[in-house]
Structure 1
């Protein structure tokens, strides 16, 4: 088990009475109905990139002089946005068939990491722990943490349902939610270490969603948020694991 990031981003818990695993780390269809998430391996939005208008030299000559500065300013901005959207779609296409990383080969992991690194280099949110974009419930799309996705187990014994992480910055609380078939949960306090990195201390767990267990002192870890927008978050743990999550519900509240 990756005892650094798994404890931080998706905690692995194996209670004596259960063979289940427990994970911690977690578009907005009502607000972004055509965005990129809630994808299956056969469902992709392949029109995410922005399409910029093209101007001929004759057309350009008819643009009033006072607007030309504005055009020259906004085109690079749109180019950058288009590149980000293209990279996001490349990333989603790369991880879609990988069962959240459980089926990833070393070559798959390398490709995903390369695309993620390109996105991280274009991250516009320089201080994610001050951004409201971090708030809400996120769904796990991909990770390299094998203790989270239990890839060493037969598929029938792995978490098959969706896995979520919720964060509320105003209360500095986080919650991990595992759905079918184990329904485990964990809640934690967040301690900002800087504007990108956070430490997590778990305070309680629920087995099968109903059996409460107090967290032990070892339930700690760190996570650095390396890319953030309204749809996608990329994080890296202190053991080097990669986590990619997609926004599900920006209004979700973590129990205090």
Structure 2
């Protein structure tokens, strides 16, 4: 997962919009400005919350549990509410990190141990990153050492995805980036795909091995062919900086939500895309 963290960020403001049934009661989460509505009538299905970024136009859909006494859906709601206004962790402060970690631990405890030998098929698909605790570090390396970043650095982080194929053992980190260009040239939008292979270690841990990086231009430059950057051979890689492999533990997993803990303690939350 180390390669995923070597990214740049640009914090964005967020706003909230959602549609609601007419007959409902409300409780308020002041930190993230989220109204959670519970229908008074059992025949009314609550509408999901949609958290939308005003700057990047990114949105996160948060389903509202229909049964307030169903523990897992409510704990998932608590976790998604805790991270929803943090721009994937880029805008998180220490208090935000602690709240997200506490909400994740409650969900992990209620969900029990993950057994990928039985639930490996749940990994299949394209997952969208909605939170990483490492992004709050303000460095290019996330929780790892890296140069500091700020608004003057002409790179903006867009969407981050993981694409997992359980048959081919492909594990791709897909990152949208906007690269600044000298005036009057417009910014260049690219998608970087960091290809890995994965294997299971025990019941809930995954090891990934980096293969190559492919960069594809978007927008006005989409006609350009992809640029492939191969992995540095092991013989040429410094022994103290082997970034070709990494491992993380999946601590919660269901059909639409995944929580992981990285090899350096990074908490990450994904939703199926």
TM class by smaller structure? 0.5 to 0.7
2:105 pairs with 1:121: no
How far has the Cα of 1:179 moved from its partner?
A: 1.6
Tell me, in whole angstroms, the C-alpha distance in 1 between the residues paired with 2:270 and 2:252: 10
- Looking at both structures, which has the greater relative contact order when contacts are Cα pairs under 8 Å and sequence separation is at least 6? 1
2:10 pairs with 1:6: no
How far has the Cα of 1:130 moved from its partner?
A: 3.8
2:190 pairs with 1:201: no
CA deviation vs aligned residue, 1:43-74 (integer Å, no higher than 9, x gap): 7767622327xxxxxxxxxxxxxxxxxxxxxx
2:36 pairs with 1:48: no
Equivalent positions of 1:229-240 (< 5 A) are 229-240=254-265
Tell me, in whole angstroms, the C-alpha distance in 1 between the residues paired with 2:147 and 2:253: 27
Tell me, in whole angstroms, the C-alpha distance in 2 between the residues paired with 1:172 and 1:231: 20
- TM-score when normalising by structure 2: 0.63
Q: Pick one of 230, 234, 249 that aligns with 1:214.
A: 230
Unaligned runs of 5+ in 2: 10-45, 136-140, 179-189, 218-225, 235-241
Structure with the bigger percentage of helix = 1
Q: Tell me which moved more, 238-247 or 89-98.
A: 89-98
Q: Pick one of 156, 166, 170 that aligns with 2:163.
A: 166
Equivalent positions of 1:82-161 (< 5 A) are 82-123=70-111, 126-128=114-116, 130-131=118-119, 132-146=121-135, 147-148=141-142, 152-155=148-151, 157-161=154-158
Please tell me the root mean square deviation across aligned C-alpha atoms, in Å: 3.0
* 3-state SS of paired residue (2:88): helix
How far has the Cα of 1:97 moved from its partner?
A: 1.2
Check whether the contact 1:36–1:89 (CA below 8 A) recurs between aligned residues. Answer: no
In structure 2, what is the equivalent of residue 62 of structure 1?
Answer: none
Tell me, in whole angstroms, the C-alpha distance in 2 between the residues paired with 1:243 and 1:170: 24
* 3-state SS of paired residue (1:122): helix
2:233 pairs with 1:189: no
Check whether the contact 2:163–2:172 (CA below 8 A) recurs between aligned residues. Answer: yes
Q: Pick one of 169, 172, 195 that aligns with 1:175.
A: 172
- TM-score when normalising by structure 1: 0.67
Q: Tell me which moved more, 181-190 or 206-215.
A: 206-215
Unaligned runs of 5+ in 1: 14-19, 22-33, 53-78, 249-256
Aligned positions, number: 196
Tell me, in whole angstroms, the C-alpha distance in 2 between the residues paired with 1:142 and 1:100: 4
